């Protein structure tokens, strides 16, 4: 199962070739690259807020020369806002030792440094390291799903109870609305960006969930059934496909919705 590996790239003139190389390294590690670029620290607080809500970033790439700013000046703020996320500080004009000195002068912990000539190689090794760390969690995902479901139910019941008992709590519903609207806006922006690219880019967004994948699968397999020659299928292949479509017709209701309502139930 592929998972997103999120990268926040703070760079005012990033290279499309470097971006492709980073995405390739993430894909080679078995994950889907989700890269967001910003030119400086102007929106870093908003990025941090989104990260706190949805855990968007597993790695931060920070250039030395930014739009109206220096990366070493921004580094303390990045570390404060993202205390547990790996940071790679790099430059095309300064060497690794110089970068380390700049970071040391700002007393920023947990920052990796490299020159631009080794940027992709160093970022790739951090991606591999992060991917291995995430992959080690695969055996815990089933337990985590059950725990999250149980916690969600407790939290949901508590929220309803507190809101029923106290008008100040009830008034906080507008803050929940803001969180949801913010998430929808971010998801909408990502999907609109993907719409300018390819089908694969669309599917890689978090907006395309399991239900949407299944619905689109049924749309396309219906076309295949009606036009088998275009796909080089004979009658036996088409009959197998029809059988598959019949068997999976209620997949959303019988599998996906049950998984949401009763995760890992036996």
| Contact in structure between 80 and 106 (CB atoms under 8 Å) | no
What pLDDT, on the 0 to 100 scale, is given for residue 91?
96
Give 221-240 pLDDT, tens digit per residue: 888 888 888 888 898 888 88
Separation CA 51–CA 20 (nearest Å): 23
Q: In this structure, what token pair is assigned to residue 202?
A: 């669309």
Residue 248, exposed/middle/buried by CB under 10 A (0-12, 13-18, 19+)?
middle
Sequence-distant (≥ 6) Cβ neighbours of residue 179 within 8 angstroms: 53
251-257 contacts at long range (C-beta below 8 A, 24 or more positions apart): 251/214, 252/211, 252/214, 252/215, 256/210, 256/211, 256/214
Residue 60, exposed/middle/buried by CB under 10 A (0-12, 13-18, 19+)?
buried
Helix segments in 136-196, DSSP class H: 141-165, 167-171, 173-195
Separation CA 208–CA 214 (nearest Å): 10
Q: In this structure, what token pair is assigned to residue 198?
A: 């390819």
Q: In this structure, what token pair is assigned to residue 183?
A: 């998430």
Q: What are phi and psi of 113, to 5 degrees?
A: -130, 145
Separation CA 188–CA 250 (nearest Å): 28
Separation CA 108–CA 80 (nearest Å): 9
What pLDDT, on the 0 to 100 scale, is given for residue 2?
45
Residue 204, exposed/middle/buried by CB under 10 A (0-12, 13-18, 19+)?
buried
Q: In this structure, what token pair is assigned to residue 243?
A: 């059988």
What pLDDT, on the 0 to 100 scale, is given for residue 264?
47
What do you get for the CA distance between the two ends of the chain, in Å? 21
Query: What domains lie within the chain, and their CATH numbers?
Result: 4-136 (3.40.50.2300), 143-261 (no CATH)
Residue 107, exposed/middle/buried by CB under 10 A (0-12, 13-18, 19+)?
exposed
In tens digits, the chain (266 residues) has pLDDT values of 346 789 999 999 878 899 999 998 888 887 888 999 999 999 999 999 989 887 889 999 999 999 999 999 999 999 999 999 999 999 999 999 999 999 999 999 989 999 999 999 999 999 988 877 766 555 555 555 555 566 667 777 888 888 888 888 888 888 888 888 887 888 888 889 889 988 888 888 777 777 777 788 888 888 888 888 888 889 888 888 888 888 878 877 776 665 555 544 43
What pLDDT, on the 0 to 100 scale, is given for residue 266?
39
Separation CA 56–CA 83 (nearest Å): 14
pTM: 0.55
Q: Give CA separation, 42 vs 109, 144, 159, 225, in Å.
A: 22, 35, 34, 52
């Amino acid at each position: 199962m592929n998972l997103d590996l999120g990268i926040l790239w703070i760079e005012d003139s990033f290279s499309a070739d470097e971006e492709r190389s980073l995405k390739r390294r993430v894909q080679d590690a078995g994950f889907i690259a989700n890269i967001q670029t910003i030119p400086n620290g102007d929106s870093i607080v908003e990025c941090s807020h989104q990260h706190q809500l949805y855990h968007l970033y597993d790695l931060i790439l920070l250039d030395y020369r930014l739009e109206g700013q220096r990366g070493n000046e921004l580094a303390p703020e990045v570390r404060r806002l993202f205390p547990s996320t790996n940071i790679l500080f790099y430059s095309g004009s300064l060497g690794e030792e110089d970068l380390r000195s700049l970071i040391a002068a700002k007393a920023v912990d947990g920052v990796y440094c490299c020159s631009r000539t080794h940027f992709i190689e160093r970022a790739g090794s951090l991606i591999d390291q992060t991917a291995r760390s995430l992959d080690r969690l695969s055996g815990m995902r089933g337990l985590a799903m059950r725990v999250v479901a149980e916690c969600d139910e407790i939290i949901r019941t508590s929220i309803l109870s507190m809101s029923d008992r106290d008008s100040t709590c009830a008034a906080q519903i507008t803050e929940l609305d803001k969180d949801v609207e913010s998430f929808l806006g971010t998801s909408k922006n990502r999907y609109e960006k993907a719409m300018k690219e390819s089908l694969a880019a669309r599917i890689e967004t978090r907006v395309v969930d399991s239900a949407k994948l299944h619905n689109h699968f049924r749309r396309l397999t219906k076309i295949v059934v009606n036009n088998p020659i275009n796909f080089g299928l004979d009658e036996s292949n088409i009959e197998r496909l029809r059988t598959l479509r019949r068997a999976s017709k209620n997949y959303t209701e019988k599998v996906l919705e049950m998984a949401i309502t009763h995760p890992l139930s036996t």
